[in-house]
Amino acid sequence: DAEITQSPRHKITETGRQVTLACHQTWNHNNMFWYRQDLGHGLRLIHYSYGVHDTNKGEVSDGYSVSRSNTEDLPLTLESAASSQTSVYFCASQGFSGSNHEQFFGPGTRLTVL
Partner 1 sequence: GENVEQHPSTLSVQEGDSAVIKCTYSDSASNYFPWYKQELGKGPQLIIDIRSNVGEKKDQRIAVTLNKTAKHFSLHITETQPEDSAVYFCAASLGVAGANSKLTFGKGITLSVRP
**Choices 19-27, 50-58, 69-77, 79-87 (CB under 8 A): range interacting with partner 1:** 50-58
Using alpha carbons, list the distances in angstroms from residue 61 to 46, 96, 102: 5, 23, 23
Q: What is the per-residue burial (b if ≥16 Cβ within 10 Å, else e) of 30-58?
A: bbbbbbbeeeeeeeebbbbbeeeeebeeb
**Position among 59, 79, 80, 114 found at the interface with partner 1 (CB under 8 A):** 59
Name which of residues 26 to 45 contact partner 1 (CB under 8 A). 31, 33, 35, 40-45
Name which of residues 87 to 106 contact partner 1 (CB under 8 A). 90, 92, 94-98, 100-103, 105-106
Q: What is the maximum alpha-carbon separation in the chain?
A: 43
Residues at the interface with partner 1 (CB under 8 A): 31, 33, 35, 40-45, 48, 50, 56, 58-59, 90, 92, 94-98, 100-103, 105-108
